[in-house]
Structure 1
Amino acid sequence: MTISDPARPARILVVFGTRPEAIKLFPVIHALKADPRFECVVCVSAQHRQMLDQVLEIAGIVPDHDLDVMQPDQSLDALTARLLTGLGQVMDAARPDRVMVQGDTATAMAGGLAAYYRKLPVDHVEAGLRSYNIFHPWPEEVNRKIIGSLASLHFAPTTTAEAALLKENVEPARVHVTGNTVIDALHWVTGEIERRPQLATGLAELETRFAGKRVVGVTSHRRENFGEGMEQIATAIRRIAERPDTAVIFPVHLNPNVRKVMNARLSGLDNVALIEPLDYPHFARLLSLCEIMLTDSGGVQEEAPALGKPVLVMRETTERPEGVAAGTAKLVGTDAARIVSEISILLDDTESYEAMARAHNPFGDGEAARRIVELLGHEIGI
């Protein structure tokens, strides 16, 4: 598809709203803004307000449009309605040539749908992830399938994601394996920390407090784990922290369904640090200093192996089976006994730990954003 006026740059509207989306899209935004063939317009929904703004500040991105959609205890249908109408209004005002979304959030799904309603091409970064269970992760599995059904270009991070799209009869010429932009972002922020060490000094007190201990990093926020799953995760962390040689650093998600459980069960434990969510440089620092990451996140399954850190995934399924196949990640669910058992194996068996730590990271080489921009230029014919 060519743009209507080849004398002007192609206007790309990049839509996102959460911290993980911001991390995975800022390398693409940087690449688009550096390329005179493109005019990059940024719209954020602020589906994550505070955590999103931290990434925007570090990456030096000022949104052109900010919907600020979040309200206390907002239902998914109310959020989706606000996103769909708000993003539609932005598209009508900005008049982009194409719309770019990333991943599987409500913002990405609504952005794709609003663009489709206007017959605008949709470019999907991190396309083709599938767990094949519409309730795990929920609602992300359906969100990304919706986007996949209407996208023009599918930027698949791996050959496994490419195969999933081809299995769904997506035209092969529409699918491109690029690697995952999260590796680009991690390389960028690591370089920034080297140039500006003050960006990531906020964990120094914990590093001193836990000196000589083996640090387990934890993140948890998945909706399907709310309730009993969170209780089991908290129980596992309490048991892990009973080891005198081990400490846990847990940036607790702002969602009250996470905070109320973790604060009630884990506050005051000597070997557990419940801290506020980390900005991106400090999260990269946590990945560097921990030995193991315990998570129900998607992005951590990609980021931690880039630094040689085993990942135990507190979910029953993953849309990133490449990590499991490569040996960088292992599915452990949310049963407390299973989590404790699997972490104990890694802490006590050097051979098992090294097998995961040295496994090849299948998620990219740090050149994904460059590939995406070149493919976009080829598609548009500029």
Structure 2
Amino acid sequence: MTAKRNILVFMGTRPEAVKLAPVVAALRGSSDFHCTVVATGQHKEMFRQVADTFGFAVDADLDVMRPNQTLAGLTARLLHGIDGWLETAQPDMALVQGDTTTVLAASLACFYRRIPIGHVEAGLRTGNIWSPFPEEANRKLATPLVALHFAPTEGARDALLREAVPEEIISVTGNTVIDALRIEVARQAADPAIRACIDNELSQLLGADWARVPTVLITGHRRENFGDGIEQICRAIAILAERFPDHRFVYPVHPNPNVLTHVNRLLGGLPNVRLIAPQGYRNFVALMARSKLVLTDSGGVQEEAPSLGKPVLVMRDTTERPEGVTAGTALLTGPNAPAIVEHAVRLLTDETAYRLMATARNPYGDGHAAEQIVERMRRYFAGDAATSATSPGLQPALMELVK
């Protein structure tokens, strides 16, 4: 019998945990792989909530976060901690997801040890190295070091091809966030106890009528929006709350002082604005499902909300998910109060405009991305023509450096 391949999965933030949970389940359900999950600790509490929701065990926690840390300090601690685990575990491959500092550090650590790495949600690009910051740089710098690129869309694949990534090591899989969302929606629909728990928790936060009042859900916390961007977002919400007194504006506020201070100052005390703590994945999905409109500067929400038939206003100047804008499920406003207000008012008052966005086709996959990722890994280790058993699958120019 062939020995199982040892796979290390590195993740640290809540979105990483959500998007990698289906992959972990697929790996652990396969007879070909042994999967070890290493948490880096970037979103400690929110990460644990996701792990509990999806029921996957975390084998180690690097606990890298420090108060008021710099990006350089975080990157150094991640690189050191990840390298230690690579030395201990000697994996056959590592997996990362998205565009966090964990992705950059893990890719570099694996490169130093000639360990192949697979990148879930590869190829997202805005074309602006400063937006989102530092995510655009993280994913671009990691790309040349990756052995297998799991692109969520054809557009992401094309972006990788433009950067001279060999076509043979790119697979278009769809986005695993759709896998995760479908799992959670089905779980909530099937289990009355889960629904009762959600209702109890959200009733305490928002009132017993939380599921019946027309709701606008907001997430805003991106680093590039710190300062004026968050101020603009908050001003827009205040204007909308006054314009639509029969609507409830629910804002799970990130604890970062760069967000929390501005949000409390500008929105605290408004009668139909609810500022609540960040919610676990289960409650957040329930809020999305019952919302009328979503305002966000997040990445994954641009993919999740359209799957639930919810129009999305993206409060950023750029998006690495242009497929949603092209398909009509999302609209780019920038962190600009007049633009946010204009488009939100239109969607909340014009039934035709709302219906066009709510029923547009979601371009982000069919909910089977994790299966495709694991199958591609299986072919990689079987020694298919696209990849070599003797190299990490690095791009040709980098292979010259490690000879």
Q: TM over 0.5, yes or no?
A: yes
1:250 is paired with a residue whose SS is: strand
Q: CA deviation at 1:209?
A: 4.4
1: CA distance between counterparts of 2:212 and 2:347?
17
Q: 1:365 and 1:258, CA in 2 relative to 1: closer, same or farther beyond 3 A?
A: same
Q: Deviations over 1:139-197 (max 9, x none)?
A: 00010011211111000000010111111111101000000000000011112222232
Q: TM-score, normalised by structure 2?
A: 0.91
8 Å Cα contact 2:152-2:172 kept in structure 1? yes
Q: Which residue of 2 aligns with 1:208?
A: 208
Q: Give the letter aligned to residue 278 of structure 1.
A: Q
Q: Which residue of 2 aligns with 1:44?
A: 39
Q: More displaced, 151-160 or 212-221?
A: 212-221
2:108 is paired with a residue whose SS is: helix
1: CA distance between counterparts of 2:354 and 2:2?
56
Q: Percent identity?
A: 50
2: CA distance between counterparts of 1:326 and 1:8?
44
Q: Note if 1:137 corresponds to 2:132.
A: yes
Q: Give the letter aligned to residue 68 of structure 1.
A: D
Q: Note if 1:97 corresponds to 2:97.
A: no
Q: Note if 1:154 corresponds to 2:149.
A: yes
Q: Which residue of 2 aligns with 1:220?
A: 220
Question: Which residues in structure 2 correspond to 1:155-234 (within 5 Å)?
Answer: 155-194=150-189, 195=191, 196-201=194-199, 202-205=201-204, 206=206, 208-209=208-209, 213-234=213-234
2: CA distance between counterparts of 1:334 and 1:41?
39
8 Å Cα contact 1:45-1:66 kept in structure 2? yes
2: CA distance between counterparts of 1:327 and 1:245?
27
Q: Deviations over 1:97-126 (max 9, x none)?
A: 001000000011101111111000010000
Q: TM-score, normalised by structure 1?
A: 0.96
Q: 1:340 and 1:64, CA in 2 relative to 1: closer, same or farther beyond 3 A?
A: same
2: CA distance between counterparts of 1:111 and 1:188?
28
Q: More displaced, 122-131 or 213-222?
A: 213-222
1: CA distance between counterparts of 2:211 and 2:332?
29
Q: Note if 1:21 corresponds to 2:16.
A: yes
1:208 is paired with a residue whose SS is: coil
Q: Which residue of 2 aligns with 1:241?
A: 241
Question: Which residues in structure 2 correspond to 1:1-382 (within 5 Å)?
Answer: 7-194=2-189, 195=191, 196-201=194-199, 202-205=201-204, 206=206, 208-209=208-209, 213-242=213-242, 243-381=244-382
Where structure 1 has 5 or more consecutive residues not aligned to the other structure, the ranges are 1-5
User: What is the total number of aligned residue pairs between the two structures?
Assistant: 377
RMSD: 1.3
Where structure 2 has 5 or more consecutive residues not aligned to the other structure, the ranges are 384-403
8 Å Cα contact 2:203-2:210 kept in structure 1? no
1: CA distance between counterparts of 2:71 and 2:196?
38
8 Å Cα contact 1:193-1:199 kept in structure 2? no
Q: CA deviation at 1:21?
A: 0.2
1:47 is paired with a residue whose SS is: coil
Q: Deviations over 1:256-278 (max 9, x none)?
A: 11111111111111100100111
8 Å Cα contact 1:65-1:90 kept in structure 2? no
Q: More displaced, 254-263 or 312-321?
A: 254-263
Q: CA deviation at 1:220?
A: 0.8
2: CA distance between counterparts of 1:11 and 1:213?
49
